[in-house]
């Protein structure tokens, strides 16, 4: 990022994305606020729609480019909302590079609902509207330093932080029913303390492995350290963490910081959700599993002997700081296990993410920045539509039904989470009648030294019993996520139990 000394926050996005509305929440202290459409209206003495109609699009674009460039060139901080088409000008795109560009990403359907009844000249015909949307979307994407998901309204404080971020840091602003939070993905974030909120007391939860590499960043007087591994994700540990929080006198003005993988995140998040009925919490995910998946969406919880993640709460984090540099110390087996969650996301997303993930030849933390960011974006987009797992979010369970059953049947000790999910993906693709895709996934798992065959010592009946206790079970049976083509998952699919048994048995072959 080549920021101006005092960059402006510039909102870009399609018509109806909420750019003008976003300006309303800009505090005076941030500086001057300019809505380019309004500025054009003032300059030409009529509404933008009338100017467009009477003088034509070319004259409008000329006025728009000139005003936009002058606003960007003279900006000293502040915030600017661009017209939807301003980014089609190469000169505007160049001028944007020194500012913090915030793309308000909205679906074509939502945008149309918002503007269809207006007099906007480019919103009179749905087919033309959709074509323009598809044309501009990659331009917004390419320019964005921050992507605000699902038409939400971002908090500007965290966005302004980007001016001092390490180069290459990207940001999402995730929104869902119960709130929004920033997600920073970059390198060198932890060593700078970048993104960490400062108010209140911070209570760190981590594990011994993570602390041995990153212990100098935590507060030694307010840190709870667990032994590594799923075995610690229990109510017994929760109890110990709660008691420590009491001893330290933590109140609802304080926060929990989870520094670790998915185990630390789920555990610390659950403690934060429940202690004094809820404290703020920050996730600093340190494994690939956590950076591509578990750190987002606010699902927290612990295991019971009877089942994984059986007790928990939804509790959105205040901030997620994914420092990809931290993956350098991750053992290669953990990186591979984490890749399964990334790969699952790629299967769900299809398109460019799938192409990128299937082409990964060897796992190297230096090449994972984009994968981490795109997986975070996919997950946060899904959660934005369905925070409480009642619909779309269930897609994220692809491979998890059989995967979780394998973990429970082996007392969470035989396989890493991602390894079990890899086996679960194979079973899910068998149940999806997608033999070609199953073969390809099998080959990719092998390429990364991941298991594709279930250890014969794993008791088949125990796996089948665990499947019966699946949390997603309804009176009709366990609903599977199936997928015939990358990018086309189907949730809640009831499958003949005999076929399920056959798909699990096949894993022993």
**DSSP run (H or E) holding 316:** none
Q: How many whole angstroms separate alpha carbon 111 and alpha carbon 384?
A: 16
User: What are 250's two structure tokens?
Assistant: 């933590």
- Among positions 232-251, residues that touch ligand NAD (CB under 6 A) are 233
Among 228, 231, 307, 492, binds ligand NAD (CB under 6 A): 228
Among 145, 254, 334, 369, binds ligand NAD (CB under 6 A): 334
User: Rg of the Cα trace of the chain?
Assistant: 24
| CA torsion through residues 143, 324, 340, 287, sign | negative
290 binds ligand NAD (CB under 6 A): yes
Contact assessment for residue 367 and residue 316, using Cβ atoms and an 8 Å cutoff: no
Residue of this chain nearest to ligand NAD (CB atom):
262
User: What are 475's two structure tokens?
Assistant: 């009176």
Contact assessment for residue 248 and residue 263, using Cβ atoms and an 8 Å cutoff: no
**DSSP run (H or E) holding 483:** strand 477-483
Per CB under 6 A, which region of 13-21, 49-57, 133-141, 283-291 contacts ligand NAD?
Answer: 283-291
The CB-side HSE value for 14 (13 A sphere, CA atoms) comes to 28
The DSSP line for 417-456 is HHHHHHHHHHHHHHHTT-HHHHHHHHHHHHHTT---S--T
| CA torsion through residues 284, 288, 294, 296, sign | positive
99 binds ligand NAD (CB under 6 A): no
User: What are 88's two structure tokens?
Assistant: 């089609």
Among 35, 145, 230, 318, binds ligand NAD (CB under 6 A): 230
299 binds ligand NAD (CB under 6 A): yes
329 binds ligand NAD (CB under 6 A): yes
Per CB under 6 A, which region of 46-54, 147-155, 173-181, 323-331 contacts ligand NAD?
Answer: 323-331
387 binds ligand NAD (CB under 6 A): no
Smallest gap from Cβ 34 to ligand NAD, in A, equals: 40
254 binds ligand NAD (CB under 6 A): no
Among 84, 180, 186, 297, binds ligand NAD (CB under 6 A): 297
Nearer residue to ligand NAD within complex by CB, 64 or 374: 374
375 binds ligand NAD (CB under 6 A): no
Three-class DSSP labels, 390-405: CCHHHHHHCCHHHHHH
Nearer residue to ligand NAD within complex by CB, 255 or 416: 416
Per CB under 6 A, which region of 51-59, 79-87, 227-235, 272-280 contacts ligand NAD?
Answer: 227-235
Give the CA distances from residue 483 to residues 123, 182, 200, 340, in Å, rounded to whole numbers and listed in that order: 35, 31, 46, 16
- Among positions 388-447, residues that touch ligand NAD (CB under 6 A) are 417-418
Residues pairing with 170 in the sheet: 185
Nearer residue to ligand NAD within complex by CB, 208 or 468: 208
| CA torsion through residues 191, 192, 194, 197, sign | positive
Nearer residue to ligand NAD within complex by CB, 65 or 323: 323
345 binds ligand NAD (CB under 6 A): no
Parallel, antiparallel, or unpaired: how do β-strands 170-176 and 179-186 relate? antiparallel
Nearer residue to ligand NAD within complex by CB, 229 or 350: 229
- Among positions 196-215, residues that touch ligand NAD (CB under 6 A) are 207, 209-210, 213
Binding site for ligand NAD (CB under 6 A): 207, 209-210, 213, 228-230, 233, 260-264, 266, 286-287, 289-290, 293-294, 297, 299, 309, 326, 329-330, 334, 337, 417-418
């Amino acid at each position: 990022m080549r920021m101006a000394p005092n960059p402006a926050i510039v909102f870009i996005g399609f018509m109806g994305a909420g750019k003008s509305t976003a300006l309303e929440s800009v505090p005076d202290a941030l500086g001057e606020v300019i809505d380019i459409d309004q500025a054009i209206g003032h300059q030409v003495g009529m509404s933008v729609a009338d100017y467009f109609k009477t003088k034509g699009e070319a004259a409008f674009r000329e006025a728009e480019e000139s005003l936009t460039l002058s606003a960007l060139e003279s900006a000293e901080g502040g915030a600017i909302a661009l017209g939807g088409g301003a980014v089609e000008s190469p000169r505007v795109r160049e001028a944007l590079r020194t500012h913090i560009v915030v793309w308000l990403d909205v679906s074509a359907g939502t945008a149309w609902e918002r503007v269809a009844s207006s007099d906007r000249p480019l919103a009179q015909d749905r087919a033309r509207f959709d074509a323009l949307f598809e044309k501009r979307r990659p331009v917004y994407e390419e320019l964005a330093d921050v992507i605000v998901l699902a038409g939400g309204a971002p908090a500007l404080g965290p966005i302004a932080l980007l001016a001092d971020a390490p180069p290459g840091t990207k940001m999402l602003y995730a929104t869902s029913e119960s709130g929004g939070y920033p997600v920073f993905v970059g390198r060198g974030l932890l060593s700078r303390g970048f993104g960490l909120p400062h108010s209140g007391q911070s209570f760190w939860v981590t594990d011994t492995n993570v602390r041995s590499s990153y212990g100098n960043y935590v507060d030694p007087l307010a840190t709870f350290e667990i032994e590594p591994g799923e075995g610690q994700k229990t109510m017994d540990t929760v109890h110990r963490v709660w008691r420590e929080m009491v001893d330290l006198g933590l109140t609802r003005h304080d926060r929990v910081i989870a520094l670790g993988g998915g185990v630390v995140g789920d555990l610390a998040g659950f403690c934060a959700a429940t202690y004094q009925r809820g404290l703020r919490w920050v996730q600093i995910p340190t494994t690939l599993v956590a950076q591509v998946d578990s750190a987002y969406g606010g699902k927290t919880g612990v295991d019971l002997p009877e089942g994984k993640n059986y007790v928990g709460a939804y509790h959105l984090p205040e901030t997620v700081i994914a420092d990809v540099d931290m993956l350098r110390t991750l053992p290669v087996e953990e990186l591979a296990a984490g890749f399964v969650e990334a790969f699952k996301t790629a299967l769900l997303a299809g398109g460019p993410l799938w192409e990128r993930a299937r082409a990964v030849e060897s796992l190297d933390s230096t090449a994972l920045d984009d994968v981490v960011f795109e997986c975070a974006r996919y997950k946060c987009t899904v959660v934005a539509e369905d925070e409480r797992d009642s619909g779309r979010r269930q897609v994220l369970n692809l491979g998890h039904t059989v995967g979780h059953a394998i973990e429970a049947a082996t007392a969470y000790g035989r396989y890493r989470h991602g390894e079990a999910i890899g086996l679960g993906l194979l079973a899910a693709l068998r149940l999806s009648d997608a033999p070609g895709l199953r073969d390809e996934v099998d080959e990719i798992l092998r390429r990364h030294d991941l298991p594709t065959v279930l250890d014969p010592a794993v008791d088949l009946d125990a796996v089948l019993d665990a499947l019966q206790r699946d949390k997603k079970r309804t009176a009709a049976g366990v609903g599977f996520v199936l997928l015939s083509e990358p990018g086309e998952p189907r949730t809640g699919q009831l499958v003949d139990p005999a076929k399920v048994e056959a798909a699990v048995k096949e894993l022993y072959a």
